[in-house]
Amino acid sequence: MTTHAPPETSHAAVAAVDLVKVYGSGGTAVRALDGVSVGFGRAGFTAIMGSSGSGKSTLMHCLAGLDTATSGRVLLGGTELTGQSDRTLTRVRRERIGFVFQSFNLLPQLTAAQNITLPLDLAGRQPDAELLAHLVRVLGLGDRLKHRPSELSGGQQQRVALARALVARPEVVFADEPTGNLDSRSGAEVLTILRDSVRDLGQTVVMVTHDPIAAAYADRVVLLADGRVAGEIDKPDQVSVTDALRDLAARR
Amino acid sequence: MRATVLRTQTTAAARRPGRLILTGLAILVASFVVFGTVLVQQITERTVRDNLSGTPAITDLVIGRPGVPPPTVTDVRQVRAVPGVAEAVARVAIGVSIGEGYLNLQSDPGSGPLTTVRVTEGSYPDQPGEIAITPRTAERLGLSVGTTTSGTAGELTTPAPLRVTGMVETGADAGYDAYAPDSAVIAWARLTAVERVDLRVTPGTSTEAVRQRVTAAVAGQPIRSGAEVREAEAQAAAEQVGKLFVLVGVFVSIAVVAAALVVTSTFRIVFAQRMRQLALLRAVGASRGTLVAALTAEGALTGLVAGVVGVASALTLGYALPAILRATGHAVSSPGLPVAAAVAVVIGAVVITVLAVLAPALSAARVSPLEALRAASTTAGRRGIGVLRLVFGLLLAVGAILAAVGTISQLPKPEQADYDPTMPLLLLVGSGALAFFALVALGPLLVRPVLAVVGWPLRQLGPLGRMSVGGIGGTPRRAAAVSVVVALGVTLISGVVIGGASLQILADREMALSAPSDFEVNSNGGTLPPAVVSRVEAAHGALARVVPYRMVDDARLLRGADKLGDVESGYPTSDLDVAKLPSTGALDVAQGTLTDRGPGRIVLNSWVARDAGLRAGDTVTLALGARRVDVRVAAVLPGDGPLHAGILADPADLDRLGVPAAYTGVLADAAGAGEDGRTAGVRALRQAIGGSEGVGLAVLADDRDRNDALVRTLVWIAVGLVGLTVLIAVVGVGSTTALSVVERVRESGLLRAIGLSRSGLRTMLTVESGLYGVIGATIGLVLGVPYAWLAVQTLGIEAPLTAPLLPLAGLFVALVVLTALAGVLPARRASRVSPVVALGVEG
A90 neighbourhood in chain B, CB within 8 Å: 752, 755-758
Residue of A nearest to B474 (CA): A109
Dump pLDDT digits (tens) for A66-93.
888 889 999 998 888 888 888 888 888 8
**Low pLDDT (below 70) residues in chain B:** 1-2, 9, 12-14, 16-17, 51-53, 99-100, 371-384, 413-419, 583-586, 691, 693, 796-800, 840-843
Contact (Cβ atoms closer than 8 angstroms) between residue B178 and residue B133: yes
pLDDT at B453: 87
Nearest to A149 among B378, B746, B754 (CB): B378
pLDDT at B418: 66
User: What number of C-beta contacts closer than 8 Å exist between A and B?
Assistant: 93
Residue type for position B354: V
pLDDT of residue A140 exceeding 60: yes
Rounded distance, CA A167 to CA A134, Å? Answer: 10
Query: What CA dihedral angle connects A19, A21, A25 and A27, to 10 degrees?
Result: -80
pLDDT at B841: 56
| A94 close contact with B: CB closer than 8 A | yes
Is residue B249 left, alpha or beta, with left meaning phi > 0 and alpha meaning psi from -120 to 50? alpha
ipTM of predicted complex = 0.83
pLDDT at B382: 57
Dump pLDDT digits (tens) for B185-232.
998 988 888 888 988 888 888 888 888 888 888 877 888 888 888 888
CA B340, B342, B343: angle at the middle one, nearest 5?
65
Residue A167 backbone dihedrals phi, psi, to 5 degrees? -65, -25
B839 neighbourhood in chain A, CB within 8 Å: 66, 101, 105
Q: How far is A149 from chain B (nearest CA, A)?
A: 6
Rounded distance, CA B843 to CA B839, Å? Answer: 9
pLDDT at B379: 45
B753 neighbourhood in chain A, CB within 8 Å: 64, 66, 93, 99
Using alpha carbons only, how large is chain A's radius of gyration in Å? 18
Residue of A nearest to B764 (CA): A122
Q: What is the mean pLDDT of residues A157-182?
A: 90
Q: How far is B740 from chain A (nearest CA, A)?
A: 13
| A88 close contact with B: CB closer than 8 A | no
Rounded distance, CA B346 to CA B352, Å? Answer: 10
Nearest to A122 among B755, B758, B835 (CB): B755
Q: How far is A251 from chain B (nearest CA, A)?
A: 30
| B276 close contact with A: CB closer than 8 A | no
Q: How far is A239 from chain B (nearest CA, A)?
A: 31
Rounded distance, CA B700 to CA B669, Å? Answer: 10
CA B363, B367, B369: angle at the middle one, nearest 5?
160
Question: Are residues A154 and B375, on separate chains, in Cβ contact within 8 Å?
Answer: yes
Contact (Cβ atoms closer than 8 angstroms) between residue A123 and residue A94: yes
Question: Are residues A103 and B375, on separate chains, in Cβ contact within 8 Å?
Answer: yes
Give which of A39, A45, A3, A14 is closest to A198, Cα–Cα.
Answer: A45
B:437-476 residues touching chain A, CB 8 A cutoff? 462-463, 466-467, 470-471, 473-475
Distance of CA A112 to the CA centre of its chain: 21
B:346-375 residues touching chain A, CB 8 A cutoff? 375
Dump pLDDT digits (tens) for A45-57.
999 998 888 888 8
Element (H, E) at B636: strand B627-636
Residue of A nearest to B747 (CA): A107
Rounded distance, CA B439 to CA B475, Å? Answer: 17
Q: How far is B445 from chain A (nearest CA, A)?
A: 16
Question: Are residues A66 and B836, on separate chains, in Cβ contact within 8 Å?
Answer: yes
| B273 close contact with A: CB closer than 8 A | no
Q: In what order do the strands lie in the sheet with A228-234?
A: A97-100, A172-176, A204-208, A45-49, A220-225, A228-234
Q: Look at residue B70 and give its three-state secondary structure.
A: coil
Q: Give buried/exposed letters for B646-672 (b at 16+ CB in 10 A, else e).
A: bbbbbbebbebbebeeebbbbbbbbbe
Residue of B nearest to A117 (CA): B463
pLDDT at A4: 44
Confidence of residue A5 (pLDDT cuts 50, 70, 90): very low
| A154 close contact with B: CB closer than 8 A | yes
